[in-house]
A and B are shown apart, each in its own frame.
Chain A
Amino acid sequence: MEKSFEIKGLKKKYPGFELIIDSLSLYRGEIFCILGPSGAGKTTLLRLLNFLEKPDEGEVFFDKHKFTSQDYWPSLEQMRQITTVFQRPALLKDTVWGNIIYPLKIRKQKIDKDYILSIAEELGLSSLIKQRSSTLSGGEAQRVALARALVFHPKVLLLDEPTANLDPNNIKIIEHMVAKYTEEEKPTVVWITHNHFQAKRVGHRICLMDQGFIIEASDNKTFFNNPTQHKTKEFLSGEMFF
């Protein structure tokens, strides 16, 4: 598989916490799930991957370019290959349609109505397309956020607990959409979740983080059936204490 990100010796320090990633590679066409307790550094890693934060040390290779702590500013074009869906959907005071096409408008890209409507249909948003975002439920809003994130064909999709607080039906719709998009467009998907059942359902590779470190990262089958690290076994059995 084609490598999209390569991380070497990445460090990011905050008061009372340090993220240290010695080595990590991410690939196109895979869903890389990150599991771990709160405060493990999952969101910090995500923020480094979407260049919203600068590391203190280390290198990240992305889009054939080496980014170091001294030079961690990608071009606008590089930034626009990456998108993030956060846990809490933040929509514009506009219709569902207006929200979904926003990334296309800022990129001055052609608005392919058929493609957008097909995404809306997959996400169960067809009947809501003219509705104002303020009238949507939490699940509907999150589906709009996902549609908005996919409409411009991103090469990297970062998901920060996108289905936390959603009902099973909405979770199913979102998981299905991300899996379908990954199959068709081969982006790199990094999915943070607290739910290891979800990781088992959607992830191609799974990683457990704790206290700023990657404890274990392996393919789905190995991670769940034959984890090598004691902490991974504890986490999966629900016995991990922090």
Chain B
Amino acid sequence: MEGLAESLMLLLTLDPYVYDIIGLSLRVTGFALLFSTLIGVPLGTFLGLTNFRGKPLITALLYTGMGFPPVVIGLFVFIMFSAAGPLGHLGWLFSVRAIITAQTIIAFPLIAGFTMAAVMSVDKNLMKQLIALGATRLQASWAAIKEARIGVLVSIIAGFGGIISEVGAVMLVGGNIEGKTRVLTTAIVLETRQGNFGVAVAFGIILLAITFIANLTMITLQKKHLFEQNE
């Protein structure tokens, strides 16, 4: 109870330590979401609209990526950016760039997979008709994304949900350095271990609120999508 009261006080008084961490979390996740969307949506659209020999293999890899343990991705990124790793010369280990890289790798299979499913549900006759009306493949693909826009948005929110609450990979590659790489999830782990329950609970409330809003938005969009399909 004391911890809860302390957390509310920290939130209401705009404690700089708390809000710096919230700000960094949203910035890092925001960039990771942007990059994973830029990779995932075109990839998902391509897989949803085309048929080629290697498609089953790529789809299987994508589905595997969707369920891949994030901490293993963190391990992979750590090895890549470590001093002995192939990208060690970049000096990105224990920086926000490493966190963004790890989160991008975690999120893009989710976004690509759900986008692929959404685009596959677009009427194939529509694509044929758009090409017959003179659309280029790119224009027809863009139209397909717009037709599947609710599903694509849901995929992005799913990607967001997958990375905002991730702790293992972020801890590994970020190092949880105060003022530099400490985000909501890693801060919760640290503050709990140090017995600062008020601060940990404050972070928890914020993380819960962000995740709840994201899921509520996703459910609302899915309901709208189902409504449009049944019209």
Chain A contacts to B: CB under 8 angstroms: 50, 52, 76, 79-80, 82-84, 86, 88, 90-93, 102-103, 106-107, 134-135, 145, 148-149, 152, 158
Tell me which of B125, B139, B231 contacts A90 (CB under 8 A). Answer: B125
A80 x B228 contact (CB < 8 A): no
Query: Please, which residues of chain B bring their CB within 8 A of the CB of A106?
Result: 133-136, 139
Q: Which residues of B contact A152 (CB under 8 A)?
A: 134
B189 to chain A, nearest CB (A): 44
Residues of A with C-beta under 8 A to B133:
83, 102-103, 106, 148-149
**1/0 contact string of B118-139 vs chain A (CB within 8 Å):** 0000010110111111111001
Contact between B126 and A90 (Cβ–Cβ < 8 Å)? yes
**A148: B residues at CB distance < 8 A:** 133
How distant is the Cα of A134 from the Cα of B228 in the complex, in angstroms? 8
Contacts from B to A (Cβ < 8 Å): 123, 125-126, 128-136, 139, 143, 146-147, 228, 231
- Pairwise interchain contact B134-A107, C-beta atoms closer than 8 A: yes
Chain A contacts for B123, CB-based, 8 A: 90
Give, as a whole number of angstroms, the nearest-CB distance from B130 to chain A: 8
Q: Which residues of B contact A91 (CB under 8 A)?
A: 126
CA distance A135 to B146 in the complex (A): 19
Q: List 23 A-B contacts (CB under 8 A).
A: A50-B132, A52-B128, A52-B132, A79-B134, A84-B132, A86-B125, A86-B128, A88-B125, A90-B123, A90-B129, A93-B228, A102-B130, A103-B133, A106-B133, A106-B134, A106-B136, A106-B139, A134-B228, A135-B231, A145-B129, A148-B133, A149-B133, A152-B134
Q: How far is the CB of B226 from chain A (nearest CB, A)?
A: 13
Which chain A positions have C-beta within 8 A of B129? 84, 86, 90, 145
A134–B133 CA distance with the chains assembled, in angstroms: 20
Decide if A90 touches B128 in the complex (CB within 8 Å): yes
Q: Hey, which chain B residues are within 8 Å of A93, CB to CB?
A: 146-147, 228
B125 proximity list for chain A (CB < 8 A): 86, 88, 90
Query: Does A83 contact B135, Cβ atoms closer than 8 Å?
Result: no
Task: Kindly identify which residue among B132, B136, B143, B228 contacts A83, using a CB–CB cutoff of 8 Å.
Answer: B132
Q: Which residue of B lies closest to A94 (CB)?
A: B146
Q: How far is the CA of A207 from the CA of B136 in the complex (A)?
A: 32
- A87 closest partner in B (C-beta): B125
CB closest chain-B residue, reference A152: B134
Q: Looking across the interface, which residue of chain B has its beta carbon closest to that of A133?
A: B231
Distance of A210 Cα from B181 Cα, bound (Å): 73
Indicate if the CB atoms of B134 and A103 lie closer than 8 Å. Answer: yes
Nearest-Cβ distance from residue B123 to partner chain A, whole angstroms:
6
The chain A residue sitting closest to B124, CB to CB, is A90
The 8 closest A-B pairs by CB, nearest first: A80-B134, A84-B132, A90-B126, A134-B231, A90-B129, A90-B125, A103-B133, A106-B139
Find out whether the CB atom of B231 lies under 8 angstroms from the CB atom of A83: no
Q: How far is B134's CA from A157's CA once the two chains are assembled, in angstroms?
A: 12
Q: Bound complex: CA of A148 vs CA of B132, how far in Å?
A: 11
CB distance from B109 to the nearest CB of A (A): 27
Contact check, B126 vs A92: say whether CB atoms are below 8 A apart: yes
Give Cα A206 to B130, complex, Å: 28
Known: A86-B129, A90-B123, A93-B147. A76 touches B136 (CB 8 A): yes
Greatest chain B CB density within 10 A among A52, A82, A92, A158 is at A92
CA distance A80 to B135 in the complex (A): 8
B residues within 8 A CB of A76?
A: 134, 136
Closest to A107 in B: B134
Enumerate chain A residues within 8 angstroms of B147, measured Cβ to Cβ. 92-93
B134 CB to nearest A CB, Å: 4
A136 CB to closest chain B CB, in angstroms? 10
Q: Which residues of B contact A107 (CB under 8 A)?
A: 134
A173 CB, min distance to chain B CBs, angstroms: 20
Distance to closest chain B CB from A212 (angstroms)? 22
In whole Å, how far is A84's beta carbon from the nearest beta carbon of chain B? 4
Residue of B nearest to A103 (CB): B133
Query: Could you tell me the distance between the alpha carbons of A92 and B127 in the complex, rounded to whole angstroms?
Result: 10
